[in-house]
A = this chain, B = another copy of it.
Amino acid sequence: MPDTTADKQRSMLNEARCQTCSLSSLCLPLALEFPDMDQFDAIIRRRTPLKKGEALFLQDVPFTSLYAVRSGSLKQVTTEGCGEDQLTNFYLPSELVGLDGIDEARYPGSVIALETTTVCEIPFDRLDSLSQEIPELRGQLFRTMSKELRDDRRMMRLLSRKTADQRLASFLVSLSERFRRRGYSPYSFRLSMSRADIGNYLGLAVETVSRILNRFQRQTLVAVSGREVHILDLDSLSRVADEQGVDSPCAH
């Protein structure tokens, strides 16, 4: 029996089904048993890879689907009024894109690939119906949104209370943590985003990002070469990330 082109394409992607996907323990279906996972798998649409710079969707386009990142990475950018863009999030494999579009039925920001990136498209109406039948799926969806709320609050804290040093350190530690959870090295990784992206995300000027990375390097906290990062002292870096003023030693 000859393969259809769809079969071919599917077989080319090395993890074309949730059941065999290496991310399944981190992704939406993480709480599902096999029969349920089949159902979930059935509503997913695999998309052809995005090239660097391509948009997954543009701001204000009608909301239809969530997207789970399969490989690569993306950034979310919101252009408000006439102002400068605001980069509100980076997305790594297994993370869910588009949750903030449900309410107004359009995406509140554009989501752009930072490198070659593949995603699974999850039509939201199908997901909603399925979440009626599968309580574990519904629960996971609630938890995912709830976690994103928590992360947002942490980001607010970073933006309103932390110094530039603390922001950069937090950013690196957080990336390290996310890579670790995904099975990559928490100590060596490549930044898929530019310094400008980092600055925009952290509320800092590019120059400041550059300078502080440089200083971290001189302090042998990290070794940075272009976008290649080696974390040399994760403990100290974490300490920098949420140190108080030098005068308040935290524990009393």
User: Which of B82, B100, B101, B132 contacts A244 (CB under 8 A)?
Assistant: B82
> What's the nearest-Cβ distance from chain B to residue A140, in Å?
10
Copy number in this complex? Answer: 2
Determine whether A161 belongs to the interface, using a CB cutoff of 8 Å to chain B.
yes
Residues of B within 8 A of A157 (CB): 78, 80, 86, 88
Q: In whole angstroms, what is the CA distance A244 to B81 when docked?
A: 9
Determine whether A15 belongs to the interface, using a CB cutoff of 8 Å to chain B.
no
| Among A101, A138, A250, residue most surrounded by chain B Cβ atoms (within 10 Å) | A138
Per-position binary interface string of chain A over residues 127-141, scored 1 when its CB falls under 8 Å from any chain B CB and 0 otherwise? 010011001001101
Determine whether A10 belongs to the interface, using a CB cutoff of 8 Å to chain B.
no
Residues of B within 8 A of A135 (CB): 128, 132
Report yes or no: B103 in contact with A147, Cβ–Cβ below 8 A.
Answer: yes
Report yes or no: B103 in contact with A143, Cβ–Cβ below 8 A.
Answer: yes
Q: Indicate whether A84 sits within 8 Å of B161 (C-beta atoms), given known contacts A146-B101, A147-B103, A150-B100.
A: yes
Report yes or no: A203 in contact with B146, Cβ–Cβ below 8 A.
Answer: no
* Closest B residue, CB atoms, query A88: B153
Query: Using a CB-CB cutoff of 8 Å, which residues 201-252 of chain A contact chain B?
Result: 202-203, 242, 244, 248, 250-251
> What's the nearest-Cβ distance from chain B to residue A83, in Å?
6
Residues of B within 8 A of A103 (CB): 143-144, 146-147, 150
* Closest B residue, CB atoms, query A199: B160
Q: In whole angstroms, what is the CA distance A242 to B84 when docked?
A: 11
Report yes or no: A146 in contact with B81, Cβ–Cβ below 8 A.
Answer: no
* Closest B residue, CB atoms, query A132: B132
Per-position binary interface string of chain A over residues 154-187, scored 1 when its CB falls under 8 Å from any chain B CB and 0 otherwise? 1111011100000000000000000000000000
User: Which of B128, B150, B248 contacts A104 (CB under 8 A)?
Assistant: B150
Report yes or no: A83 in contact with B242, Cβ–Cβ below 8 A.
Answer: yes
* Closest B residue, CB atoms, query A141: B142
Residues of B within 8 A of A131 (CB): 138
A sample of 18 inter-chain contacts (CB < 8 A) reads A80-B154, A80-B157, A81-B242, A81-B250, A82-B244, A82-B248, A82-B251, A84-B161, A88-B153, A102-B143, A102-B146, A128-B135, A141-B142, A142-B145, A145-B146, A152-B153, A160-B202, A160-B203
